[in-house]
């Protein structure tokens, strides 16, 4: 299956590390298909954005410059007693990490912004976050381990089954190309594979042996 704006896909995208790359389309709403001088380049859209989000957040986090996404409408967050206690104990550190959360009443909070690493706000996002925070001493939150940031990136990245526009595909490839390690996701899985012209021609028995 190809992306819904395939007719508008750029003919060629210059990339010193992958290409030049010509985007063909999207397959199974999971993989981005491209042509490059080596043959057929297949990019895993989820793994690719994991890498982009992870590197971007780690750079900003280490330089104390995490970018915030301001919510169009502040969201009221009502929690159970134990979860509210976890948020209250960590609220200052959460604000330094890119959240803008303030107490809004008994066991309630007002969320005005979230770190850019999260693509959108949801109650599930906060529930997952509470689970992470419950394992961390509040005094150690700003020394957050890389594996937790990896999990944040994984939750936020483009999922399999999501149809991407041609603009989104081009943007993702550009951002991935700029990563220090664009060829694997933070978990170590490949973000892309290249099937050579030789391999394809052998499969179609154009080449013997």
> What local confidence, expressed as pLDDT, does residue 175 receive?
93
Mean pLDDT of 135-164: 70
User: Max CA-CA distance within the chain?
Assistant: 74
Q: 20: which strand partners? A: none
Q: Name the pLDDT band for 167 (thresholds 50, 70, 90).
A: very high
Higher pLDDT, residue 185 or 94: 185
Q: Name the pLDDT band for 6 (thresholds 50, 70, 90).
A: very low
Q: Residue 149, Cβ neighbours under 10 Å: how many?
A: 18
Q: Residue 4, Cβ neighbours under 10 Å: how many?
A: 13
Question: Which among 186, 191, 187 is positioned nearest to 58, based on CA atoms?
Answer: 186
pLDDT digits (tens, 9 = 90+) for 92-131: 877 877 789 999 988 999 999 888 777 667 777 777 777 7
Q: Which class for 128: exposed (0-12), middle (13-18), buried (19 or more C-beta within 10 A)?
A: middle
Q: In what order do the strands lie in the sheet with 192-196?
A: 22-27, 31-36, 39-44, 192-196
Tell me the C-alpha distance between 200 and 164, whole Å.
26
pLDDT digits (tens, 9 = 90+) for 45-86: 999 998 998 888 888 877 777 778 888 899 898 988 988 888
Phi, psi of 108 (to 5 degrees): -125, 150
């Amino acid at each position: 299956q190809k992306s819904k704006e395939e007719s508008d896909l750029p003919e060629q995208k210059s990339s010193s590390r992958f290409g030049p790359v010509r985007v063909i389309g999207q397959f199974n709403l999971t993989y981005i298909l491209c042509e490059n001088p080596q043959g057929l380049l297949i990019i895993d859209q989820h793994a690719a954005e994991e890498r982009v989000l992870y590197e971007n957040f780690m750079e900003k986090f280490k330089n104390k410059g995490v970018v915030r996404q301001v919510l169009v409408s502040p969201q009221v967050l009502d929690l159970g007693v134990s979860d509210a206690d976890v948020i209250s104990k960590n609220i200052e550190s959460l604000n330094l990490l890119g959240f803008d959360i303030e107490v809004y009443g008994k066991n309630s909070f007002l969320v005005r912004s979230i770190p850019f690493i999260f693509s959108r706000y949801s109650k599930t996002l906060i529930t997952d976050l509470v689970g992470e925070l419950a394992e961390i001493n509040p005094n150690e939150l700003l020394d957050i381990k890389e594996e937790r940031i990896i999990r944040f990136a994984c939750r936020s990245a483009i999922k399999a089954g999501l149809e991407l526009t041609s603009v989104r595909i081009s943007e993702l490839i550009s951002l991935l190309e700029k990563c220090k390690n664009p060829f694997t996701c933070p978990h170590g899985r490949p973000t892309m594979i290249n099937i050579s012209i030789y391999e394809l021609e052998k499969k179609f028995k154009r080449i013997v042996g």
